[in-house]
Amino acid sequence: MNQTTQNQQTYQHMYPKGSKSAALPPGKEAPDFSLRSTPDQFVTLSDFRGRPVILAFYPADWSPVCGDQMALYNEILSEFQNFGADLLGISVDGAWCHAAFCKDRKLHFPLLADFEPKGAVAQTYGVYRTSDGVSERALFVIDPEGKIHWSYVSPIGVNPGAAGILSALESLQPKEVAK
């Protein structure tokens, strides 16, 4: 059995009750929020107006798929930055857990704690798994004006990769006019 299949089975065992997500679609205003990025600092989405933002909701720190997903985004962070985009990871873990996870994985982007009230931001984006107490593995690209440009919900045990994010960021770039 390959590692991907094994991870999918692990997640299906851990989160058996998941329901179909109703993620906010493109064109909707991205709900603003303020979440802890460290035990004593907050990050507010609206502070990023004028720049694209990637919101990467994930179930939990320290799990195999989540660790791989965040490590991938860390490795290609410069590609996101080439599009002028900021990346924010969001899960229901607390700020102290995120701090330890970031330090261990050497992550260079903020992980935000949607901790209390648990999953409130994930709920506003339509990606909270109430029966499991975690968020979906969901991605949103927010345009510089604060609207959702692209969204995707991956099966919870599958790393969605970065191709969709990069395509969405590319489509936000001004089109060159042929002469």
137-142 and 53-57 strand pairing: antiparallel
Distance (Å, rounded) from C-alpha 135 to C-alpha 18?
Answer: 10
Name the nearest CA neighbour of 36 among 103, 121, 157.
121
In the structure encoding, which two tokens stand for residue 102, read together?
A: 């970031």
Asked whether 102 and 111 are in contact (CB, 8 A), the reply is: yes
Q: What is the DSSP string of 120-133?
A: HHHHHTT-EETTTT
Q: Is 170 helix (H, G, I), strand (E, B) or coil?
A: helix
Asked whether 142 and 52 are in contact (CB, 8 A), the reply is: yes
Distance (Å, rounded) from C-alpha 54 to C-alpha 112?
Answer: 13
**Given 54, 55, 60, 66, the catalytic residue:** 66
Q: Is 97 a catalytic residue?
A: no
Active site residues: 66
